[in-house]
């Protein structure tokens, strides 16, 4: 059950809570994912900043560099103490951050 989270609302519900004045520059499906147990490798929606505003994209829950694919499960979290220097997340830290909208988290 490690690294599971809950995303059961529609994207518009999360956007209402954020109350951002930035424009959404991508289309999105407001149909809720409705899952109380999202496991790594599930496709989920994330919110991230782009030059024109904010984008919502469906992504694979988990990330790994090309050389690490298939060698171990894709990591879904990192320690804040090592995220800027570790092999896996170092290149993402300066400009690869995104918001994963969630209603709960299981660890």
Catalytic residue among 2, 12, 18, 50: 2
CA–CA distance, 7 with 75 (Å, rounded to integer)? 19
CA–CA distance, 91 with 93 (Å, rounded to integer)? 6
Spatial CB neighbours of 62, under 8 Å, sequence gap ≥ 6: 40, 41, 73, 74, 75, 76
Q: Other CB atoms closer than 10 Å to residue 56's CB: what's the count? A: 21
Is residue 81 flagged as an active site residue?
A: no
Catalytic residue among 21, 51, 81, 107: 107
Residues forming the active site: 2, 107
């Amino acid at each position: 059950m490690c690294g599971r989270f809950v995303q059961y609302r529609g994207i518009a519900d999360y956007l209402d809570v954020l109350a951002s004045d930035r424009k959404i520059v991508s289309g999105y499906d407001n149909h809720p994912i409705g899952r109380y147990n999202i496991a790594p490798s599930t496709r989920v929606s994330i919110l991230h900043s782009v030059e024109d505003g904010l984008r919502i994209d469906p992504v694979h829950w988990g990330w790994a560099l090309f050389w690490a694919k298939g060698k171990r499960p894709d990591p879904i979290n990192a320690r804040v103490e090592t995220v800027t220097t570790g092999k896996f997340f170092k290149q993402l830290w300066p400009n690869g951050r995104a918001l994963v909208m969630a209603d709960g988290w299981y660890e």
